[in-house]
Chain A
């Protein structure tokens, strides 16, 4: 079955945040409590109830030229998704045939392994429901002949929805067209994970690191899961024991991420 995806082309983004509002509206998400943050962004990160976030960065070049970068960033719906591999509960985290990844709120046990596995820090945990949530790719829309809510709302066609192959081709054309105006313009996500790629791809104006994106999304920690621990679950060892083993195995990565300031100690 053809993979479906989204292309986010930052050269067309005007930072209007229609995508954020459309996502909240379609998914009936409540507002987060925010205060003025010092920039227009105001929400520092995605949360359990904010799945898509437009991230703003102001940069004054050495030449004096002012640049204001905006990136609408959410779940990348990675092929062979690390979060799906990490999830110990069958069916709690699933990847559709067309490539999007969803969390089943009724099955999720809140173990947070997906959070650790995700190189983009996307799934967010909620204390009350004890589950995680993230962009779902709007299954109620895409399974009914519609596009995702964010792509529908985007007024400049920065976010577009379609066959992944078509979007990849379009992204490459876009980079060629924009090269003169933005010398660092590049695609992102097409060949991630050693070629498997993500189903949400980007056209960026700068290198991925500029946006806080991993240059090469990696799945090291998850290999342990897929190849070692998950088979153990099949042996009926029970989630708790498996969890303990996994936790020990994951600890290394946790420490690394804590060091990088990416996760807070529980």
Chain B
């Protein structure tokens, strides 16, 4: 029983950076912009959060620094793709490469320093309830922020007018523009939000998940977050579900080797998130209606304002 509880606890922990980054990217893609630079923004967020935490001693300031770092670098992407109309795919890839190098440079003097980690929730009585206590009430704050942000993004996209406008911009920027909505400004805001969320995901990595700074410590989680958005067919709650599925696959891979003695190659589990994403893509792509219902129609297309 204890092992099952622990597997659930570690799954929730492992899923959190994916939830944070994918929720941000979901909003970006819903506005019609494809930012492949999640990995780079996560690293910038991770290093900014760690450096500021070590210099000031405040994890809270560190978390905000991570978000600001993510926003700043995402705005570089926004200027290049939305103002100068650079190709979004190429710019996003460049952003990742830039983020890897830039984060290494910022963090060069902080390699090998240790941080005790963000404090964990500890409510006397409640956190000690067997089973439910460790699963629900003994995480670091960003775990709860992740779930709250999924709910907030769902509410924003489907229950507010601003969310409707953002979705409209992603579906048809020409129509939104014709009605008079500021397409470029809305996309700027969406990209900045995505940067903040990726930065937050990075902060979770360097302050809570593995509290330290090491180069390229995100180790591909940005790419999994991108896959997760597609896996979730651009729906917020499915991002949450998908992140837990991806996180559970990871823990199954590790526990499967040492406890269950499954004779399944562990590489198989490593590729499962990507295979699952491709399967979802194939399923929704078989039907033109499904494609239209899932993917934002203007995703990745440059917007040339006319008139």
- A and B physically associate: no
- Interface of A toward B, CB cutoff 8 Å: none
